Amino acid sequence: MYAVNPVLITMKVAIIKYNAGNVCSVLYALERLGVQATVSDNHDELRNADKVIFPGVGQASSAMTCLKEQGLDKLIISLKQPVLGICLGQQLMCRFSEEGNVDCLGIFPQYVKKFSSPSYKIPQIGWNNIFSLKSPLFNGISEHSYVYFVHGYYCECGANTIATADYIHMYSAAMQKENFFATQFHPEKSGDTGHKILENFLTLNS
């Protein structure tokens, strides 16, 4: 049983609602932290939240189509509070994805590329370690901690990389630019390490 951080109980946390959200497991993880999050595509609710989470499991080009239809593409890049993209959410925050050859939100300048290898299983499914940790998102997290990944595409490394993983080659396991944070792995499925990362995100600037 996790201890509930009293700072989080009254916090307004919004999860972006669109056709690629992996919402239920994120909601359960937040509940373990004492947070009752709202799942919404309402622009005002998202703007007025203390923290916003942008989860995703699905296909990049269809997800971008949905975001544009709802006007969420422009809304997301305009947000000023801390925003956390998860898995596909991180990839959609990049410049371009090879998954459907689609322009994405462009928050990060990196490209999203498809894994290719004759000797590795693709997608990568399971636990892998992260290293070169560089952000308050990883306060209290040890180098080479293990977290849970499910992905067949990856974000290139670059100036915004705040954690690195190695599968076939090195790639961005997490990224940050200003108020935008993102993880390729699923913190909501990553046990104690993921719990701490989510808590770190929720307590940023609080």
Asked if residue 74 is part of any domain, the answer here is: yes
Asked if residue 92 is part of any domain, the answer here is: yes
pLDDT of res. 206: 53
- Amino acid (one-letter) located at 192: D
pLDDT of res. 21: 67
Please say whether the beta carbons of 70 and 18 come within 8 A: yes
Asked if residue 98 is part of any domain, the answer here is: yes
Each residue's pLDDT, cut to its tens digit, for the chain (206 residues) gives: 677 788 788 899 999 999 776 789 999 999 999 999 999 999 999 999 999 999 988 899 999 999 999 999 999 999 999 999 999 999 999 999 999 999 999 999 999 999 999 999 999 999 999 999 999 999 999 999 999 999 999 999 999 999 999 999 999 999 999 999 999 999 999 999 999 999 999 999 85
Please say whether the beta carbons of 46 and 15 come within 8 A: no
Asked if residue 1 is part of any domain, the answer here is: no
Asked if residue 89 is part of any domain, the answer here is: yes
Domain region containing 75: 6-202
Which residues participate in catalysis according to the annotation? 87, 186, 188
User: Domain holding 191: CATH number?
Assistant: 3.40.50.880
pLDDT of res. 56: 86
Residues 6 or more apart from 155 whose CB is under 8 A from it?
A: 90, 91, 94, 108, 110, 111, 112, 171, 172, 175, 184
Asked if residue 128 is part of any domain, the answer here is: yes
- What is the number of domains present in the chain? 1
- Amino acid (one-letter) located at 75: L
Asked if residue 64 is part of any domain, the answer here is: yes
Helices (H), 70-154: 72-78, 88-92
